Amino acid sequence: MAMDIYLIRHGETDWNKTKRLQGVTDIPLNACGIELAEKTAEGLKDVPFDRIYTSPLIRAKKTAEIIRGDRPVELVVTDGLKEISFGEYEGLCHEPEHYTIPKPGFRKFFEDPEHFETPPGGESLAHLIKRTSSFVKSVINDPENDGKTFLMASHGAAIRGIMSGLLNLPIAQFWSGTVHKNCGVTCLHVENGQVTITFENRIYY
């Protein structure tokens, strides 16, 4: 049993540009984000996707729709690909020079994930890893998916959650490997349940 899974992070948003925490806040792509998705669609135009899965958040869903183009392919919306929630901190700036988060230790999310404290009302990294990777494993383990190729449109932390779960990485290594740029694409090849990385964070623009 084998399949290929393409993971793509959504295109750029205004909150990406200003380093504001998006989480589950539904921020649309900006003009640049749409352009990045269109260029990526051109790069992926010859990939024969059998189905496209997407986070319900508009920035990922719009990216998925642009990549799909005129392919007659089903687009499935799932919370399994949704971004981590930052709870009460969403909309605040995490950039050190313009930091507006009330807790000074939030940067541990990026710099020391093992000791990151979940924001009030937010989702823990452990839960993110379980939620996202469990969804991808359900696709991998479905016998009907043998020989198929899928696109999954998601988010920066969510994709690291998927990779952490599939590769059995400890939370301390959550950010190991690469952090996807906007519209960065990673291709996973699955053979008899074993996941290998064909390429990671490939840019088409």
Domain ranges of the chain: 2-86+124-202
Amino acid 57 reads L
The residue whose two tokens read 């479905």 is: 142
Distance CA 170, CA 149 (A): 28
Determine the pLDDT at residue 19. Answer: 95
pLDDT tier at 188 (50, 70, 90 boundaries)?
very high
Smallest CA-to-CA distance from 76 within 112, 94, 50, 95 is with 50
Report whether 188 contacts 9 (CB < 8 A): no
pLDDT tier at 152 (50, 70, 90 boundaries)?
very high
At residue 76, does pLDDT exceed 90?
A: yes
In the chain, how many H helices and how many E strands? 6, 6
At residue 106, does pLDDT exceed 90?
A: yes
42 is catalytic: no
User: Two tokens at 191?
Assistant: 């053979």
pLDDT tier at 178 (50, 70, 90 boundaries)?
confident
CB-CB neighbours of 46 under 10 Å: 6
Report whether 6 contacts 185 (CB < 8 A): yes
Determine the pLDDT at residue 104. Answer: 87
The residue whose two tokens read 């899974």 is: 5
Report whether 147 contacts 189 (CB < 8 A): no
Superfamily of domain 2-86+124-202: Phosphoglycerate mutase-like (3.40.50.1240)
10 is catalytic: yes
Instruction: Give the β-pairing of 149-154 and 185-191.
Output: unpaired
Determine the pLDDT at residue 12. Answer: 98
At residue 164, does pLDDT exceed 90?
A: yes
Mean pLDDT of 21-41: 98
Report whether 148 contacts 139 (CB < 8 A): no
Smallest CA-to-CA distance from 81 within 146, 156, 16, 25 is with 156
Higher local confidence (pLDDT), 178 or 86: 86
The model carries a pTM of 0.97
Mean pLDDT of 154-166: 98
Mean pLDDT of 128-144: 98
At residue 87, does pLDDT exceed 90?
A: yes
pLDDT tier at 177 (50, 70, 90 boundaries)?
confident
Of the residues 10, 12, 90, 155, which is catalytic?
10
Of the residues 38, 42, 65, 83, which is catalytic?
83
Distance CA 54, CA 65 (A): 9
Mean pLDDT of 171-178: 92
Distance CA 22, CA 127 (A): 18
